[in-house]
């Protein structure tokens, strides 16, 4: 519930700190004293729109802070926990509006958008006035109240989940299906391309080996001539060759005994060179003996290389990149095959979610229909006691249509009312009289309060246009609501004010250069005087005081 409200430099309020209790808190005061300013300021902490005009003249900003005890509000605690905004102690909503018109919101000290203040505020407070009903004019509130009254909130969440999963699955299925023709064409192309590459069967390092062998065969004549010339120069030239020159050199040096170290090293190197030349000649001879300049082999090599080069040009890659490209095409084809399998799986999931939705939505629909008539009859009965004899109340359940599973179930829920005998039932939002709308809303809240998720109800002059016995009934109903939670009500009727568990008095304090609004919590004596003033005007009489004491005493009893 709301435990503290702090308002600084808002409208004609310079500074206000107000501690609030559970039960029914009455707010009264002279006309123009600013009774509704408190509620307007509170609305800003709950995400209402604001402009620079709300800043008190002469101040640079308005600062409003509202503290809530969330011990009994599990849904609000869960909302905060999901966003890492929870902390020990009360939940603090704050709104700052600058004179330039900038606005900032905070939840537990963390900056937040106005939409977050509004979302959390709807879990904490429901504000009703003759001008604005924050939630009871919305059909989604009608549905929520009916589900709470029917005890079907969990079932409603299951229906919403099933509808959301069905919608998500259908969107994914449509995305895959919309690509069907394009994917089939791509699948066919990939299959053909991979078949070409598979038929080519290019082995690892094969291209490098083929190119080397082809180069060798293409230069066969030049290669053979070079090999023969080298052999001749090294060992076969009668006029002189490398081996004979080395042998002669070794013989000359070997004729000297006790060679110096340098000559010995030179002799060893010449001997090593002789051995290496002999081995080189042997390798060249073996090459010539085994070399086969086969024209048919060269043609086969050229045909194989041509096939590789042609396919590489077709795919616009280098021949050496064909293997990598083949793997990429294979992976893409596998992904397309996976999409085909996904379509089949999604079709099965879609059917399963549709069956689950129909089962749960059918159960929810039955509960709603059973509860609608009972709730409507109870609200209609309360309307009779609220100065609307002959008034009627009905809950219309209309089909949500055949556009697939809807998150809110099989039907739309709307409250219909007729405030006067002979009038046609109309949507609650179309009731012309603000006073009638307020009292109808009060009747609905009285009935649904035991199951409502909103712990704090605010009624801003719901008693406009009523008086006498009806005013007393309104006060009794508000007190009943206060006994189940917290009710703040702005009133000008003593019959309503007398029913409060506590009484707040709004008054103006006039200074030498400015007027400001102040709020006082009245003790029992002050309260009797205020109710007497509401009964008889500015001048208090013994009769009005006695009447006020009697009204307060009866309410407390």
Please enumerate in sequence order all residues whose Cβ is within 8 A of that of 413, keeping only pairs 6 or more positions apart, or say none: 139, 142, 143, 146, 368, 372, 395, 396, 397
Where is the domain boundary, 294, 321, 336?
336
Are residue 120 and residue 256 in the same domain, yes or no? no
Question: For residue 249, is it within any domain?
Answer: yes
Query: Per mean pLDDT, which of 40-54, 269-283, 308-322, 356-370 is the most reliable?
Result: 356-370
Residue 170: CA count within 13 A, CB half-sphere: 13
SS3 state of residue 199? helix
Among all chains, which residue has been given the structure tokens 């249509």? 401
- Are 444 and 415 a contacting pair, CB within 8 Å? yes
Q: 58-62 contacts: CB < 8 A, separation 24 or more?
A: 58/514, 59/9, 59/99, 60/98, 60/99, 61/9, 61/96, 61/97, 61/98, 61/99, 62/7, 62/8, 62/9, 62/10, 62/11, 62/96, 62/97
Are residue 110 and residue 14 in the same domain, yes or no? yes
Are residue 17 and residue 126 in the same domain, yes or no? yes
pLDDT at 433: 63
Are residue 194 and residue 261 in the same domain, yes or no? yes
Are residue 302 and residue 196 in the same domain, yes or no? yes
d(CA 247, CA 344): 86
Where is the domain boundary, 293, 311, 336?
336
User: Which one-letter DSSP state was computed for residue 52?
Assistant: G
pLDDT digits over 437-463, tens only?
767 877 887 787 766 778 888 888 777
Question: For residue 120, is it within any domain?
Answer: yes
| Domain that includes residue 233, residue range | 183-336
Where is the domain boundary, 282, 308, 336?
336
Are residue 126 and residue 246 in the same domain, yes or no? no
In whole numbers, what is the pLDDT of the chain averaged over residues? 84
pLDDT for residue 435 is more than 70: no
468 or 66, higher pLDDT: 66
Confidence tier at 133 by pLDDT (50, 70, 90): very low
Average of per-residue pLDDT across 28-50: 83
d(CA 270, CA 247): 9
Question: For residue 379, is it within any domain?
Answer: no
Are residue 127 and residue 8 in the same domain, yes or no? yes
CA 360 centroid distance within chain: 25
Are residue 196 and residue 332 in the same domain, yes or no? yes
72 or 342, higher pLDDT: 72
Question: For residue 2, is it within any domain?
Answer: yes
Please indicate, yes or no, whether the overall pTM of this predicted structure exceeds 0.85: no
Question: For residue 508, is it within any domain?
Answer: yes
Question: For residue 98, is it within any domain?
Answer: yes
Question: For residue 318, is it within any domain?
Answer: yes
pLDDT for residue 129 is more than 80: no
How many domains in the chain?
Answer: 2
Are residue 63 and residue 203 in the same domain, yes or no? no
pLDDT digits over 138-186, tens only?
888 899 889 988 989 889 999 999 999 999 888 877 776 665 566 666 7
Among all chains, which residue has been given the structure tokens 């409502």? 452
pLDDT digits over 228-238, tens only?
788 878 887 77
SS3 state of residue 527? helix
pLDDT digits over 212-255, tens only?
777 777 666 677 778 778 887 888 777 778 888 888 888 888 77
Are residue 110 and residue 191 in the same domain, yes or no? no
Question: For residue 440, is it within any domain?
Answer: no
Q: Using alpha carbons, select from 302, 329, 375 the residue that is nearest to residue 197.
A: 329
Q: How distant, in Å, are the alpha carbons of 352, 442, 493, 521, 543 from that of 550?
A: 66, 26, 15, 21, 11
CATH code: domain of residue 16: 3.40.50.300
């Amino acid at each position: 519930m709301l435990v503290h409200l702090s308002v600084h430099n808002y409208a004609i309020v310079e500074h206000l700190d107000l501690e609030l209790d559970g039960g029914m808190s009455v707010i009264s005061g002279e006309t123009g004293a600013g009774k509704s300013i408190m509620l307007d300021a509170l609305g800003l902490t709950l995400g209402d729109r604001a402009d620079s005009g709300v800043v008190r003249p002469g101040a640079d900003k308005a600062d409003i802070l509202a503290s809530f005890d969330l011990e009994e509000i599990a849904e609000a605690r869960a909302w905060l926990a999901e966003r890492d905004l929870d902390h020990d102690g009360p939940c603090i909503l704050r709104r700052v509006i600058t004179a330039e018109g900038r606005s900032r919101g905070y939840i537990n000290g963390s900056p937040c958008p106005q939409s977050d203040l509004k979302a959390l505020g709807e879990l904490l407070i429901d504000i009703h006035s003759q001008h604005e009903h924050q939630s009871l004019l919305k059909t989604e509130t009608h549905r929520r109240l009916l589900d709470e009254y029917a005890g079907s909130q969990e079932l409603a969440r299951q229906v919403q989940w099933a509808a959301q999963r069905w919608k998500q699955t259908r969107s994914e299925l449509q995305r895959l299906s919309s690509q069907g023709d394009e994917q089939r064409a791509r699948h066919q192309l990939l299959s053909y391309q991979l078949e070409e590459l598979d038929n080519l069967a290019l082995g690892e390092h094969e291209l490098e080996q083929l190119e080397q062998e082809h180069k060798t065969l293409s230069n066969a004549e030049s290669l053979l001539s070079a090999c023969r010339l080298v052999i001749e120069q090294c060992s076969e030239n009668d006029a002189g060759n490398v081996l004979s020159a080395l042998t002669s050199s070794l013989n000359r040096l070997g004729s000297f005994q006790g060679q110096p170290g340098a000559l010995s090293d030179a002799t060893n190197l010449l001997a090593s060179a002789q051995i290496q030349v002999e081995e080189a000649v042997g390798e060249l001879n073996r090459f010539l003996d085994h070399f086969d300049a086969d024209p048919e082999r060269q043609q086969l090599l050229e045909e194989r290389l041509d096939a590789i080069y042609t396919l590489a040009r077709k795919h616009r890659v280098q021949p050496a990149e064909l293997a990598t490209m083949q793997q990429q095409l294979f992976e893409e084809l596998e992904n397309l095959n996976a999409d085909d399998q996904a379509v089949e799986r999604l079709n099965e999931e879609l059917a399963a979610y549709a069956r689950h939705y129909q089962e749960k939505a059918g159960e929810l629909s039955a509960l709603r229909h059973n509860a609608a008539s009972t709730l409507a009859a109870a609200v209609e009965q309360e309307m009779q006691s609220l100065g609307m004899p002959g008034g009627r109340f009905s809950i219309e359940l209309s089909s949500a249509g055949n556009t697939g599973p809807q998150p809110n179930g099989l039907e739309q829920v709307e409250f219909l009312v007729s405030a006067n005998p002979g009038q046609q039932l109309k949507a609650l939002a179309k009731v012309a009289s603000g006073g009638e709308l307020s009292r109808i809303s009060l009747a609905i809240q009285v009935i649904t309060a035991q199951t409502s998720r909103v712990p704090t109800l605010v009624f801003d002059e719901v008693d406009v246009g009523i008086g006498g016995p009806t005013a007393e009934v309104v006060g009794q109903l508000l007190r009943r609501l206060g006994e189940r939670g917290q009710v703040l009500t702005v009133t000008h009727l003593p019959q309503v004010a007398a029913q409060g568990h506590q009484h707040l008095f709004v008054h103006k304090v006039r200074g030498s250069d400015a007027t400001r609004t102040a709020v006082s919590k009245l003790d029992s004596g002050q309260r009797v005087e205020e109710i007497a003033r509401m009964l008889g005007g500015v001048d208090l009489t013994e009769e009005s005081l006695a009447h006020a004491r009697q009204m307060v005493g009866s309410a407390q009893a």
